[in-house]
Homo-oligomer: A and B are copies of this chain.
Amino acid sequence: MKTSQSLRIVLDWGTTSFRALLVDAEGHVIARTESEEGIQSVPNGDFAGVLQRALVPWRQAHGPLPIYAAGMIGSRNGWVEMPYVSVPADAAALAAQVRRLALPDGGTISFVPGLNDPTAYPYPDVMRGEETQLVGFGLGEDRTVVLPGTHAKWARIEGGAIRRFQTFVTGEIFGTLAKHSFLAKVARKPETPDWAAFARGVAVVCDGPPPGALLSHLFAVRTGWLAGRVDPTEMTDMLSGIVVASEFQEARALGWFAEGEAVAVVGDDDLVEVYRRTGEAFGLRITVGDEDCAVRGCLAIAAVVEGLRGAA
């Protein structure tokens, strides 16, 4: 039996979905609640109302609990627009910019800031949410971490801090082409990933001169189908292989890794597997972090915040 004192709520409130996790002090998830009330569906900016209604059962059981939120809920389109902390940054630097709001029921919600890299080309790069995953994965070891997603991030951990990072719009290119391009009408996505088709997409990029020819390589999904050499059930995974391998090719050219090095992949299971396979095709030693990194990161930042406020 957990005492309510050790419980916290970690929010994953994105553009199209709402998710709340009830976690203990060690980061174990005790309960979860989800809905499609994403940021964009909240009427009149009534984020407090949506949140309070979603958490009624937990409040009845435990009273008001401290809530922590990272990611897009703290963006221009969300509840409050949180600042971006500049790299290099660690949990303490993020905690120092956490903003706490009082809620009508006597509880609080604390927003974790985003991160920016002012050295990025051509404009400062930004992340919201991934900084919390990186903290949860651990900043104790110097290493390169890739976080797959709509806007995938490559980040460098050095000297106990997030040192620099760079965004690749890989997931967005894959998603918009899969849904809206020449292949949307022909492709039939299989129930489970077709890893052989995925590997063929990776090979199109790795075997083809020159590096970075994404606009021409993408057409292979169509020409392969027209030539009878790519089946409609293979097209989506082949597209995925072309796009993700192109990200690795760009990342290598941008100095994020060299063959034979170690790179960590942190994210949800399906994308981690996609990136693990691609990384190995590029000669990398891949280690993986799990979905719990976000929760652990939130709690690590919370511990600093509560320590700071407790000491004050």
Please tell me if the beta carbons of A167 and B219 are within 8 angstroms of each other in the complex: yes
In chain A, positions 123-158 with a C-beta closer than 8 Å to chain B are 123-126, 150-151
Interface of A is mostly: mixed
> Are A173 and B215 in contact, CB atoms less than 8 angstroms apart?
yes
Q: Of B172, B210, B213, which one neighbours A182 at CB under 8 angstroms?
A: B172
- Asked whether any CB of chain B lies closer than 8 Å to the CB of A254, the reply is yes
B223 touches A124 (CB 8 A): yes
Interface size class of A (residues with CB under 8 A): 35 or more
Q: What is the CA–CA distance of A182 and B219 in the complex, to the nearest angstrom?
A: 23
Q: Determine whether the beta carbon of A180 is less than 8 Å from that of B179.
A: yes
Task: Tell me which residues from 205 to 251 in chain A have a Cβ below 8 Å from any Cβ of chain B.
Answer: 207-216, 218-220, 223-224, 226-227, 229-230, 243, 246-247, 249-250
Are A216 and B176 in contact (CB-based, < 8 A)? no
Contact residues in B for A176 (Cβ distance below 8 Å): 176-177, 180-181
Q: Does A204 lie at the interface of the complex (its beta carbon under 8 Å from any beta carbon of B)?
A: yes
With contacts A121-B208, A176-B176, A177-B176 taken as known, whether A213 is within 8 angstroms of B167 at the C-beta atoms is no
Residues of A whose CB lies within 8 Å of any CB of B are: 120-126, 150-151, 166-170, 172-173, 176-177, 179-182, 204, 207-216, 218-220, 223-224, 226-227, 229-230, 243, 246-247, 249-250, 253-254
